[in-house]
Every structure is written in C-alpha cells, then in structure tokens.
Amino acid sequence: AYPSAKGCTERGTQGREGVEMGREIPILMSGPLVCATLEGAKLEYARAYPAKTQTRRPIKRENKPDPGCEWAECLCREIDPSDTPCVTCEARFPGVAAAGDRLWVRETWRIDNNLSRDRYPQVVYRADEGFMVARNAPAGVRLGAPNPKGDIWTPSIHMPRWACRLRLPLVKVRIERVQSISEADAWAEGYGEHWQKRVKEAGADGPLGRPDARGWFAMLWDKLYGTWGQNPWVAVYEWGQIEVVK
C-alpha cells in the first residue's frame, strides 16, 4: 500500500547515458485504479475519462521525522501557523519517494499457459485482461511448463518485479492533510466512469445530483484506511507520462 524503500533499487544508479536515475519503489493498486491509470497511455481524445495521475498514501508512524513530533512542532522548533511541514522537516522525512523515482505497480495477475512466439511466458492482468511478454522472467518460469493454476489469479501483493507492466515516473511529491484534497485532485485520483457508477448505486450523489469526486475519495479512503475523519498527514505522489510494457 505505502511506497517504501524496501525492495527498491538503490538511488544513484547510472542510466544508459550516465544520467543518475531514481529508485524504483513498489506500490499496490486495485483493478479499477489500474484501468484509470492506463487511460494516461491513450491520446487525450481517446480517453473515456480523465486519467489517474495521483495517489495518496498514509504516512506510517515510524516514518515521522522524530518520535512524538508533530508537524506543528517543527524539528527546528518553530511553530508553523499554516500547519504545513517546513522544508527542513520535509527533507528529513524518511521513507517517502521523491520526484525522479518511479513507482512500479503491483496488480492482480497470473501466468498464461501459452508461450509467446519467442518462447517467453506471458503475464495476464485481471484489471483489463491485458498481457505482457515477460522477457525478464526467471529461467524456471521461462521454460513455459503448463501451469495447473493458470486460471487462478495471484493477489497483487505477490507480484514480483519481473511481472510488472506499469511504471509511474514521479514528477512531484508533497506532504499534506488527506482532507486537503480538492475536487480536481480527486478526479486525478482516478474518479472515472466505473467509480461514478458505484457512487450513484450507493446513493452518495452530490448536492446537484451528480457524483461528488471528493466525496467518493473520502469513501474510498475510509474503506481502505478508516481514517478520513482523523485527517492524517499523507504523501501525495504525482506522475507524468506512464510507462507500459507489452
């Protein structure tokens, strides 16, 4: 759920042209939100609804800058009346991804029993039944032996890096209260056609009879974490052009 440095590549690795690259950090994502994110790979006129370009994740207690320290009690001991973390505190906040890092998405998946033309296994994704030729799969998987569990979906938490098809290059990271989310940001969280239908079915329409994106996000947050009313600090991750392997 929360992007952490565990299982990520080290910051400072060199790319093909000698340019320093950020870390790759795993993140869990549900099927509908994967579909909303994949809209970003389409041309704008071909999108069914605005693409998902943000995600908010709770900040774990152990990742606070100092035990017992609240943002209003800055590390520099200065009281911030705007209730916003100062630059010093934010910079020293461990475990939070930064601009330049990439999130690699863990989603529900399975191995297809059929090999690709070049004899590699194919990974199928439940979100949209899309597939990817897993050229980086371990040798044992690459053999392509029939998988008796080929029609059984594997939970996203068990997706290895080689089975990932979707990477999100981060362009901006910030810290804020979860209830600070705007209507526009709620749309950027993946409030697409699927979720509008779900909100209507739940009878949670806005005052004008239309689904409220911010209200939807509050419902989703409470379903996942149950802390909307507590208004916790969260890390907001924004990405640019997504990377999809096929």
Q: Which residues is 121 bridged to in the sheet?
A: none
Q: Which residues pair with 57 in a beta bridge?
A: 235
**Residues 100, 105, 111, 114, Cα dihedral to 10°:** -60
- For 208, phi then psi, to 5°, come to -100, 10
Question: pTM for this one?
Answer: 0.74
Structure tokens at 65: 């800058």
Contact 94, 63 (CB under 8 A): yes
In the prediction, which pLDDT does 140 show? 75
pLDDT beyond 50 at 19: no
**Residue 14, helix vs strand vs coil:** strand
Is 126 a residue whose pLDDT tops 90? yes
pLDDT digits (tens, 9 = 90+) for 178-188: 999 999 999 99
> 201: buried, middle or exposed (CB in 10 Å: 19+, 13-18, 0-12)?
exposed
Q: Write down the pLDDT at residue 62.
A: 44
